[in-house]
Amino acid sequence: MAKRTGPKLLRFDRNLGARLVAGADEAGRGPLAGPLVVAGVLLDYDGLRDHRVRPLALLNDSKQVDPATRDELYRAVLACAERISVHVYPPGVIDRDGLHRCNLAGLRAALWACQPADVCLVDGFKLGPSAPPHRAVVDGDTKSAAIAAASIVAKVTRDRLMRRLDALYPAYGFAQHVGYITPGHSAVVRARGPSAVHRLSFQALCYEGEEAVA
């Protein structure tokens, strides 16, 4: 049974003493295929009470909850957030600009899209002076409700995109592993070559001697 972690995460944000708290997080840094998705969520703690906050009881880092709970939390976040932003970086852009650069750009864009905010929080990374004033929170998706909410939005959005890509490239099994490296995924890439949505800049043994296929 999922733990009621939401109250602790919400308390972390409320203890900041701010009304409008923005959080940003990403999904898809590690996969071999598919996009990087970065999300921002703005929560208004003056209005986030009673019936509006109860659906967030199980809120947590997206990796800590099962898919069914993630879907429920995704709907809850959409219903209660003051503002949400989503930024998608396709594999070609990741290959051209680099994963970390795309990630930082996405986190900055997500926080800017959630303005005005009294406090901006991001999971782990300092984003430099071109971002809004912000705090980097280590393991923030397990501490802050705003960051965890962004984690949920990013993960659910990316998983849905990967299921659509599975329909376009059914041989690769994207619906099951959502682009991460598994023995089965690597075996298909070795046999067929990478698809047009694989990240060719990644160093992967299954890429050796292969070129992308349409």
Q: Please, which residues bridge with residue 44 across strands?
A: 20
What digits encode the pLDDT tens for the residues 146-202?
A: 999 999 999 999 999 999 999 999 999 999 999 999 999 999 999 999 999 999 999
What digits encode the pLDDT tens for the residues 102-158?
A: 999 999 999 999 999 999 999 988 999 999 999 999 999 999 999 999 999 999 999
pTM of the model as a whole: 0.94
Radius of gyration of the chain (CA): 18
**What 3-state DSSP class applies to 107?**
helix
**What 3-state DSSP class applies to 24?**
strand
Average pLDDT over residues 43-56: 88
197, 203, 204: which is closest to 212 by C-alpha? 197
CA–CA separation, 59 vs 5, rounded Å? 6
138, 135, 117, 147: which is closest to 5 by C-alpha? 147
